[in-house]
Structure 1
């Protein structure tokens, strides 16, 4: 366990010692500032609830987090091969699966940190400018509830929103990590991963409109779990959607492990 902790610490250091990591974090926090301040000056005369802006910023922020996590995950293994440092890593007395696991855990921890920062900063920063009364979700001009109904406070909805988004983030991060392992080129893995993040946003809703039963078993359809908060999902259930994602997650993880175990490092 001690050796694995050192391995995990080493992988985290690789992430946080890079300038791009802090640039991405800065961009995430700057997003909140650049959205909140102009809205504050444009709506000084209205009693706007902070939860309305928190929802908008969370939606855009999560898109950035998904993209940033894809960049980190896609480069985690592929960049080791590109730079040749993978040989130095594998000659150490660590089993390959432990090396792979430490890399993926570090990616998940990065994603979790970004989510926590976004959650805390959107609430704290908007708390300074807008009315922070914990209103019900229905009172926020219908933005929180969409076409369905959500009975509860905006604060509780916001927490559930983040939980639903994080489940999808775990799946997309695993896909990016798989691409990082399959492809030796870090640039190719990063490019494909970012393309996947953006395409999943547009392809999923379109595929979901196809009236065939087999569509329910495609993971693209279930990457957006937020509609389950309002019941606006037809006959599908949250349990079924998470189960489908879990199966794909396991398949992607198994393929990642298999490829990394069998890869000829000397090639």
Structure 2
């Protein structure tokens, strides 16, 4: 376990040296206050309270989408750059299995996503309290955490997709491009029976609030099952390719 933690710390240090690392945290601090100021100035009655502002903004349709994009950009090259920079050979000659090396990279991706989410949630909540106060709206911390959970589903799935694409293509640009394209079309709805088996409609767990569904015939349990299948598919594919690829 200590060796694995050491691998994760090493990956975190390498990630923190990227130029986009601290920019992402800065954006997640500044943007909520800027958005809150603009909304308060233009339409001050749009949100009845700070918690309502936070709950809305942290969804994938708000600042949550920017958060997802930053996670994709920040982690898409965590494997691909090892190939483009020629460091993959030095990484694999260490006394560590390929599975442990790749697992440490994926854990680092999740930690990066989690840390950005925490920063964004605190900043959005503080912005909401600053510009809209704490009264009215009928929403509280529980609703904010629910929005964070809904957005985290998107974030983890697209980060895992970007992670897999980085392994398959060994190209940071391609992995970002494919993941961003998938993110942009994730709201596309096709009212056909087969579409419920596609990843995108199952990402929208918020649609089940109030007894609704992304598409007729879908249930919360079905969406959770489909998300688990895609998550495992992305990971297993990435790990299999990484373990079998010849880098000599």
Name stretches of at least 5 consecutive residues in structure 1 with no aligned partner: 137-152
User: Deviating runs (4+, > 4 A) in structure 1?
Assistant: 42-47
Separation (CA, whole Å) in 1 of partners of 2:221 and 2:133: 36
Which one of 194, 197, 216 corresponds to residue 180 of structure 2?
Answer: 194
Which one of 217, 221, 224 corresponds to residue 235 of structure 1?
Answer: 217
Change (3 A) 1:62 1:73: same
Change (3 A) 1:199 1:46: closer
Aligned to 1:254: 236
* Residue 252 of structure 1: how far off its partner (Å): 1.2
Report the TM-score when normalising by structure 1. Answer: 0.84
Separation (CA, whole Å) in 2 of partners of 1:54 and 1:89: 42
**8 Å contact kept, 2:28–2:120:** yes
How large is the Cα RMSD of the aligned pairs? 2.0
- CA deviation vs aligned residue, 1:76-108 (integer Å, no higher than 9, x gap): 111110000111111111100000000001001
Q: Does 1:161 align with 2:143?
A: no
Separation (CA, whole Å) in 1 of partners of 2:45 and 2:105: 50
Name stretches of at least 5 consecutive residues in structure 2 with no aligned partner: none
Separation (CA, whole Å) in 1 of partners of 2:181 and 2:29: 23
Aligned to 1:119: 121
Q: Does 1:226 align with 2:206?
A: yes
The 5 Å alignment of 1:52-63 reads 52-59=52-59, 60-63=62-65
Aligned to 1:13: 13
Separation (CA, whole Å) in 2 of partners of 1:185 and 1:247: 25
Aligned to 1:182: 168
Q: Does 1:215 align with 2:195?
A: yes
Change (3 A) 1:42 1:172: closer
Separation (CA, whole Å) in 2 of partners of 1:82 and 1:46: 48
